[in-house]
Amino acid sequence: MDPFWDELPIHVIDFEGGPHCGIVEFGVVTLKGTRIVDAATRLCRPKASISRKEQATHGIGNEDAKRCLPFAQEWDRFANLRETGPLAAHFASAENSMIKAVFPYARLSDSWMSDDRKVAEWGPWIDTGYVYRNYGDDGSSLKLEDLVMRWELQRELDELAAKYCPENRSRYHCALYDALASALLLLLYCNELSDGKPTVRQLLAESQGSSARREKFEQQQLF
């Protein structure tokens, strides 16, 4: 029987960085049902100098980041997350590409799509960007900040940020702040917007970019 979304931990992830410098900050929010049961974040040493353009986006300077351990030290944390529940992100292709650049494969873990299928991939991901695009798409912006404002989640996000985020990393384009925003969107969808209580399998299918991709994705999981 497919587990419902609130029967497994869901680990909502955000990375700051880019292809050149790599991951310079991670944020992880673990949901179990309607509760946040864990949250973690830190800066990471870049693999190359952080460009001025990137610094202007996320506010992480080279001097601060170079004092930190590289993201490569986080293998156990992220491998354990993938083993215990599905990963989630807002437009997850970026997070998937960034983690694969450091760790090409996860540990052999449940696909969360069938009872007996194991994969060594970081996905399939629950993707709040595509979930909201597929939910009554009216052409409105799907940027994280715009969705939070549209669904009136900003006050709750700032309250959670005051509890979980480092004092100087409590805004958009900070990894844990963005992960909290994605987590709130996921909770809203599962609790109020979805047509019935979704299973994990349904969320993964709804995280595909189109009806054709959803159909193809579901077919692939059968074989």
- For each of the domains in the chain, give its residue range(s) and CATH number, in order of start: 5-220 (3.30.420.10)
State yes or no: pLDDT of 216 exceeds 70: no
Structure tokens belonging to residue 157: 């996000």
| Average pLDDT of the residues of the chain | 93
Three-state DSSP class for residue 220 = helix
Look up the pTM and report it: 0.94
Per-residue confidence at 215, pLDDT binned at 50, 70, 90?
A: low
* Length of the chain (residues): 223
Structure confidence by residue, pLDDT tens digits, 41-82: 999 999 999 999 999 999 999 999 999 999 999 999 999 999
Q: From CA 116, how far away is CA 108, in angstroms rounded?
A: 12
Three-state DSSP class for residue 128 = helix
State yes or no: pLDDT of 29 exceeds 80: yes
Q: What does the pLDDT read at residue 162?
A: 98
Helix or strand run (H / E) with residue 112: none
Average pLDDT, integer, range 17-44: 97
Structure confidence by residue, pLDDT tens digits, 81-116: 999 999 999 999 999 999 999 999 999 999 887 667
State yes or no: pLDDT of 148 exceeds 50: yes
Q: What does the pLDDT read at residue 223?
A: 46
Structure confidence by residue, pLDDT tens digits, 187-207: 999 999 999 999 999 999 999
State yes or no: pLDDT of 217 exceeds 70: no
Tell me the helix, strand and coil percentages in the chain, rounded to 5: 45, 20, 35
Q: What does the pLDDT read at residue 57?
A: 95
Average pLDDT, integer, range 7-20: 96
